[in-house]
Structures are given as structure tokens and as C-alpha cells.
Structure 1
Amino acid sequence: MPLLKDAKATWILAWPIMVGQLAQTGTAFVDAVMAGHVSAADLAAVSVGASIWTTLIVTLMGLLLSISPLAAQKVGAQQTHELPALTQQALYQAIFAGLVAMVIAHAALPVFDHLGLTAEVADKARRFLAAISWGLPALAVSRTLYGYSSALNQTKPMMVIALIALALNIPANWILIYGHWGFPAMGAVGCGWATAFCMWISAALWYGWIRYSAVYVGTHPFDKLRGIDWKAQWQLAKLGIPIGMMFFIEVSAFSLIALLIAKLGTTAVAAHQVALNFASLLFMIPMAIGTALTVRVGHAVGAHDWQQARLIGQNGVRLGLIVAALGGGITAIFGAQIARLYTQDAAVLALATQLLVFAGIFQFSDATQVVAGGVLRGYQSTRAPMLLHLTAFWLIGLPLGYVLTFGAGPIAARGPQGYWLALVVALTFAALSLLWLFRRVSLAQLKSF
């Protein structure tokens, strides 16, 4: 299969996902920019509050991602008549998981009082998390319906709905952050309420699109109400829990770094948020490619075409590296200009510019590991990637980052730059090990066939 032809097939499926995910991440970008123009304290509150929030939503999305490869393999095996029941079972899990995540968010609120933050930042971060957590059940439903839709090669709904939500988020932030139309000026807390509101709008739009679009006739999960199928629940959980843990391991490492950097002061927290937020925007591009590859590889696996599955994965990794080269170069070269989009604070600007250089460097490893992870999900290989992520982020990245940031023995403290250097090392290990696993899994399937 020629590289350009295969890359085009992946890109056709991936670009609406990319735009949709960029729009979703754009919400965090808008929150950071609009809160940052209130005060450094509001930007720091959004940063610290988002460290827990992001851990919750990314883990939640990982847990619910099992619908995508399972539904894709049903499509590849020409068993689309099984999709309504399977998707409805996934929705049951989504509602339950979303409610549990909301409870966890509220239980975590006291943690902000023990991070060494100023009283103002701690209070704003606590109220930001409490507000935004009310959108978690809606987010869970939306992500499940998106997984079902993408398995049918229908990725444009995510793009359109995410863009609508982003468009709504801007005026909602304007009203609630700065206090317009009779609402009080809530600063960072207004970001939380605005985002939660937009999540519920997104869930309603997903339901309407799938329920009434002709594309989904015969496969959507709203035809009739079914009871809980414990066999299907176990199948979804067996695949979804390792994916959720894999996502949790990575994002919790980033979130814990944000919490530890809080000890270095408001400037360090704000600069870290700037660099991480922009890196997250770039990450959405290879992540979309990985999601598209999960579907394409899943279709090939469902059809038992192991040679095609391997070729799709190999070409997908190459496409991810090309995207990483572009994004990494832009980040490293134009770091100062990027940082000015977020803040005019001279100290924050100077430190953020330095951190963005590291963000540009690790684009190569980050893109490779997320693309390889998407390919492996298409093979339903989730446990080994989880263990490799555990090693990369918790056993290598966090300990090394702590030593480099705060110093230990003969190693001098490097400040926030230390954690970003450790992230480069951790992501490189993750990328190389997942590539090795993909090669092993794909060759094993070819030999068994």
C-alpha cells in the first residue's frame, strides 16, 4: 500500500477529529487566556485546578474508549447489526463513570489547601474545579457517542459539535469571568461554569445528530431500551480499564508536576501552564491520527487482514513524525511570540519561552507514542501499553523530574526546566517501547495467520 495513498486515507478520517479535539483543547486555551488577563492569580488557579480536572477527564475518556476498537471490528467483520446493543451498553458505563468522576472531583477539593498556594489561588482553584465537574456526565456521554460514530467513519460530527461548543464558550466566559448581563465577575471560577454548560450542550447535540441523521439508521443506540448485558459490560471494561489506566498514568504525571511546581511560586505555575497548554494544543494533531488509526486498524483486524493492519500502523507512525517535525519546529522557534498570546507578565513570559523549547523537542516522542498507542488499541492490545506507560512516567519521569527540579546530592536544582527535561526522557522511552510492542504484536498476528 503506497505511503501517500495510505496517509491520505488516514488523514481523511483524522482531520475532522483533529479539528474537533483542537476545538475542545481550545476551550482550555480560551480559559487560560481570558483568566490570565484578569490576573496572574486567576491564571494560576485555572492551571492548578485544571491539573486535577484534566486527570479526571482524560482518565474518563480512556475508560470509555473501548467502544471505538470494538465497534470498528464489528464494522470490519460486517456485523453492524450488533452496534445498537453494544453502544447502549457503553452508554450505561459512561453515565456511571461520569457520576463517579464528579464525586471524585468534589472529594478532591480540600487538596488545594495543602499545596502551599496563596489563600486566594487555593480558593479560586477549589471553586473552579467544583463548578466544572458538573459537566462530567455529559462529557462521558459525548465521548461514547463519538467513539460509536467514528467506528462508522463518521468523524465530522465531532468537529462540528466541538466548534459549536467552543464558539459558545467564548461569550459564556465573557459573561461569567468579567461579569456582564447582570452576572457577577467570577474570574477563574466563571471558566468552570461556562465549560460545564458547554459540555451539556454538546451532549444534547450528539444525541440529536445521531438520533435523526440518516447515516446512523439501523445502528444507533436509541431504537429501544435494553437491560444491562453483563457479558458486554465485562468486554468493554476489560478493554477500557487498561486504556483508562494508561491515560491516567500519563496525565497524572503531568498533573502531579503542575502541583509540585506550585511550590516554586505563582510565576512558575503560570509559565508551566502556558507551555503545557500550547503543547496540549499540538498534541491534539497526532492524537487525532492515533484515533483514526484505531478505527482503520480495527476495521482491518475485524476483516482478519493482518498485513493491511500492519501497513496502516507503519504508515501512521511515519505520518505522525512528519506532523511532529512541523509542530516542534514552530514551538521551539516562535516560543516568545506564543507565550505573549497568554500573558504580558515579564517574568512569566521569560520562563514560559524557555519551557516552550522543551515542549518543541518532545513533540517527536509524544507524537510517536500516541500514534503507536492508537495502533495497538486497534489490535485490542491495552495491558502491555499500560505497563510501559507506568514505567515511563511514574518510574522514570516523576523521580527524575523531582531530582532535576529541586536538586539532590551533587545534582543542582534546575527549577521548572528540570521537569520538562525529564518529560523528554520519559516520552522517548514510551515512544521506543510502544514501537517495539507494535512490531511484536503485528508480526505475531502475521505468523499465526
Structure 2
Amino acid sequence: MQKTFTNSEKIRQLFVILFPLLITQLSLFAMTFFDIMMSGRYSTADVAGVSIGSSLWMPIYSGLGGILLAIPPIISQLIGAKDTKKVPFNIIQAIYLALAIGVGITIIGFIFLNPILTKMNLEPAVEQIAHSFLVGLGFGILPLFVFNVLRSFMDGLGQTKISMLITLSALPINIIFNYLLIYGKLGFPELGGVGSGYATAITYWLIFIIAILVVMKVEPFASYRIFERFYRVSLKNWKTLLVIGLPIGFSIFFETSIFAAVTLLMSNYDTITIASHQIAMNFASFLYMAPLSISMGLTIVIAFEVGAKRYSDALEYSKIGISIAVLMSLVFSLVIFFLREQVASIYTDDQLVLKLTTHFLIYAIFFQISDAIQAPIQGILRGYKDVNFTFFMSLVSYWVIGLPFGFILAHFTDLGPFGYWIGLISGLALGAIGLLARLLFLQRVKFSPMKEN
């Protein structure tokens, strides 16, 4: 990264960082997409089971993995302040923390997975598929979290293209092993949707190994000599990471877990409704990768400018990032509206599932504008290391307002399962408004351009 002097230079630098992030996020998401899509081609029970398993896994992974999103702003601010000697120590401590998180998730899953699935009252076949899918995926938890640390290190240096190439190289492997293990090809066992869990775990190990080699052998990463020195565990450094990371992780958990909660509440509906809901939600999440990538890119450039105390440049980056996200959301809304039947047909041949999915996709349109505002602002606030308000807004907008409102609409009106979607839309809109107010206050008071050196 480098200092910019005009808006055109800022747009260029943001896109240099943003585009690889988008491809990376789409590639990571594509693993879940192909898990669900290829399982749907196997059977409706398999797509329902894999969808349930993914819905349980993603909020946990996103929330706890979100703690590691403290790394890019920390690294970017160190680079902006030209204090690079502290980088290796911070990365090693983050790896230790990632391993601790991974072990913790594995133990908790071993204890609570069966009771959670039992209480969902799923059809027996769906419950068994969801359980076995998560067991298979669990073998890849530790390498996934360490990879996230190494990827955050790369991104914090502004070298997002490298993490993009790593993830892209792994995606074909995930698809190939899905094909082999779901359908039992070339002598591999026919596991159905369960096979996608094992295929994903294999992919996580692959990107972990590649990332280790890149950090050790490829510049500019190799010059930091991350693995050259052994550091003891520093609880003080963990505290620094957690002070920033925990609010980020909890805010992401509150946001992603609301979708899992809706899935749990909808488990009383039939398999067709569950499958249709999950397909529509999966596609909406797929489109969310764009504002999410803009958010991650903004975190990097904002932190870089704040570290150098160039608050006016940070302000300009904020305006540019939000504007790009809003324009993209309008395009996505048109795609959903005019191509919703084609989108649904990607996932399933079941005519009942396809028809109901097109109805859910109409509601997904309303996610777009709110996501285009709240996601970039979250990234901007992280760049400022201002994370507590996002945590508060996520809790209130989703769990205090969005979910209860959706429950009321679903159970006390004729909207049925669509009521939950209206509740989610309401929560997203409220969150966007609150975060925008916080950002305007922050940039006018604490990080005003008038306070530059």
C-alpha cells in the first residue's frame, strides 16, 4: 500500500485490494455453495441435511473466526506507522490463539452436537446427514483457523492477490472431492451429502499447507521471518487481540447466528420448505460476499491511513467504498428479480422446491440495500479500531428486534415462514441506520480531518 493524493488513485488502490478479496470470499463461499448444490442433485434429504449442518457451522466459524479479523487493522496500522518489527510476534500469537479456538470448538462440538440436532426434531435421515456432514468437516477446523491468521497477515500487508490465488487453487480440489465422495466415483465411497463435509476438510488442509509455504518462501512475507523465532504464549498480546477481536467476533456471530436461529425455528416446517429457504438464503449469502469484500478492503485502507494519521484520506475512502457497495446492490437486486427462476434451478430439479425458492428470493432483494450500507461501515469502523458499537447494534437489531418481530409475523399472521424473512430485513435495516449514525459521529469528532498532524 502507498499514500494516495487523488480520489482516482484511491479508487485504483481500493480496487487493487478489493478485487482479490472478492474473489477469495467468493471462492470460500463457493465451497459451501457447491456442497449444497451438489448435495441437492443427490437428494432433497441430503440438501436439507447439508444446509442444516452449514447453518449450524457458519455462525460458529464466522463468529469465532471473526475474532481473527482483529489482525488486518493491527498489521495495517503498524505498517502505516512504519513499526514493522512487531509484526512477527503479533502473527505468532494470533496463531496460538487460533489453535486454542479450534480446539475449543472441537471439544464443544463433541459434547453438544447430538443434543442440538435431537432438539430440532428433524426427519431422521436429515438429522443423520447433518451430523455426519459436521463430523467430516470437523477434521479441517484447526488448519482452517491457522490459514485465516496467515491470510489476515497477507491482507494486512495489502497483498490480497496472494490469498486470492491460494483459495482459487483449492476450489477445484473441493469440487473434485465433492464429486468423488458424494456420488461414489472412481472407487470412492458413495457418502451423499456427508461426502461434502470430508471434501471441505481436505480443502482446508490444502490451503493451510500452501499458505505456510508462501509465508516462508515468497516475498514480501518471507522478509518478516514469521516462523524463524519461537515466541512464548503472551496472554497480554492475546488480550490486545481479544479487545478488538471479541466485539468483531460477537457482532458477526449475532448477525450470522440469526440466520441459523431462523433455520432452527423453521425446522418444524416440511423438508421442502426448509430446502427452499436454505437455497434462497444461500444465494443471498453468495451476493453478500461483494459488500463483505468491500468491508474487508476498507478495513485495510482505513487502518493504513489512520496509522499514518491521515484522517481526511480515511474519510474519502469511506465515501468511495459505500458508494461502490450501493451501486452493486442495485445491480444484484435486478439480477434476483429477473432471474430468480434460473437461480433456483441451479440448486434443484424438484419442482416444488424450485417454485417455493422463487418466492423466498423476492424477499432476498430487500437484503441488498441494507447490506450495502452496514457491511462497508462495519469494515470502516474496524479500520478505526472502533468495534464495540457494532457489537451492540448487532445484538439489538437482530436479536432484540429482528428475530422477535419475525417470530410474531410467522406465527400470528398468514405470512408463515416468510414472516421470518421480513423480521431479518427489519433487523438489517435498523443495523444499517445505527452504524451510519456512529460512523458520522466518529468522523466528525474523534477522527476529524481537522485533527491531522
Please, what TM-score do these two structures have when normalized by structure 1? 0.97
1:11 aligns with 2:15: yes
331, 349, 363: which is aligned to 1:344?
Answer: 349
User: What is residue 417 of structure 1 aligned with on the other side?
Assistant: 418
| Partner Cα distance (1:395, 1:197) in 2 | 39
8 Å contact kept, 2:137–2:200: yes
1:29-87 CA-partner distances (Å, limit 9, x unpaired): 11111100111000000111111111121112211111110001000001112111111
Partner of 2:312: 307
Bigger mean CA deviation after superposition, 329-338 or 2-11:
2-11
Q: Is the 8 A contact 2:68 2:148 kept in 1?
A: yes
Q: 1:25 aligns with which of 13, 29, 48?
A: 29
Are 1:435 and 2:436 an aligned pair?
Answer: yes
1:424 Cα deviation (Å)?
Answer: 1.3
Question: Aligned equivalents of 2:181 and 2:112: distance in 1?
Answer: 24
Conserved 8 A contact 2:215-2:221? yes
Name the CA distance, whole Å, in 2 between partners of 1:196 and 1:3.
Answer: 42
Greater shift, 105-114 or 380-389, is seen at 105-114
Report the alpha carbon displacement of residue 448 of structure 1 after superposing the two structures with TM. Answer: 5.1
In the aligned structure 2, how far is the partner of 1:29 from the partner of 1:229? 38
Which residue of structure 2 lines up, in the alignment, with residue 59 of structure 1?
63
CA contact (8 A) 1:84 1:220 kept: yes
Offset at residue 5 of structure 1 (A): 4.1
Q: CA deviation at 1:438?
A: 0.8
Deviation at 1:146, TM superposition (A): 0.9
Greater mean alpha carbon deviation, residues 229-238 or residues 99-108: 99-108
Query: Could you tell me which of 350, 353, 356 is aligned with 2:358?
Result: 353
**1:384-417 Cα deviation digits (max 9, x unpaired):** 110011111001111011111122xxxx131221
1:47 pairs with 2:51: yes
In the TM superposition, what whole-angstrom CA distance separates every residue of 1:191-222 from its partner, at most 9, and x where no partner exists? 11110111011111110111100221332421
Equivalent residue in structure 2 for 1:275, among 262, 265, 280: 280
1:354 partner letter: H
Matched, 1:103 2:107: yes
2 CA distance for matches of 1:109 and 1:136?
15
8 Å Cα contact 1:20-1:163 kept in structure 2: yes
Task: Report the Cα distance in structure 2 between the residues aligned to 1:323 and 1:196, rounded to whole angstroms.
Answer: 32
Match for residue 393 of structure 2 among 388, 395, 420: 388
User: Residues 261, 211 of structure 1: CA spacing in aligned structure 2 closer, same or farther, 3 A cutoff?
Assistant: same
Q: Which amino acid aligns with 1:399?
A: P
Q: What is the match of residue 289 of structure 2?
A: 284
Q: 1:337 to 1:4 in 2, by over 3 A?
A: farther
Distance in 2, Cα, partners of 1:230 & 1:48: 36
Identity of aligned residues (%): 32
Q: 1:2 to 1:362 in 2, by over 3 A?
A: farther
3-state SS of paired residue (1:218): helix
Q: What is the aligned partner in structure 1 of residue 328 from structure 2?
A: 323
**CA offset at residue 2 of structure 1?**
5.5
Asked if the contact 1:81/1:218 (under 8 Å) is kept, the reply is no
Aligned mates of 2:331, 2:306 — CA distance in 1: 31
Distance 1:441 1:90 in 2: 28
Q: RMSD of the alignment, in Å?
A: 1.3
Measure the CA separation in 1 of the matches of 2:139 and 2:44: 25
- Equivalent pairs counted in the alignment come to 445
Partner Cα separation in structure 2 for residue 97 and residue 266 of structure 1: 33
What is the aligned partner in structure 2 of residue 36 from structure 1?
A: 40
Q: Deviations over 1:142-192 (max 9, x none)?
A: 111111111111001221111122110111011111112332211111011
Q: Does residue 1:213 correspond to 2:218, yes or no?
A: yes
Equivalent residues of 2:214, 2:221 under 8 A apart:
no
- State the alpha-carbon separation in 1 of the partners of residues 254 and 176 from structure 2: 34
Structure 2: tracts of 5 or more residues without a match: none
Counterparts of 2:169 and 2:250, CA distance in 1? 30
C-alpha distance in structure 1 between counterparts of 2:61 and 2:204, whole Å:
12
Correspondence for 2:174 = 169
- Are 2:86 and 1:85 aligned? no
Matched AA of 1:386: F
Displacement of 1:421 = 1.4
For 2:172 and 2:290, how far apart are their aligned partners in 1? 20
Following the alignment from structure 1 to structure 2, what is the Cα–Cα distance between the partners of residues 406 and 149? 47
- In structure 2, distance between residues paired with 1:403 and 1:2: 50
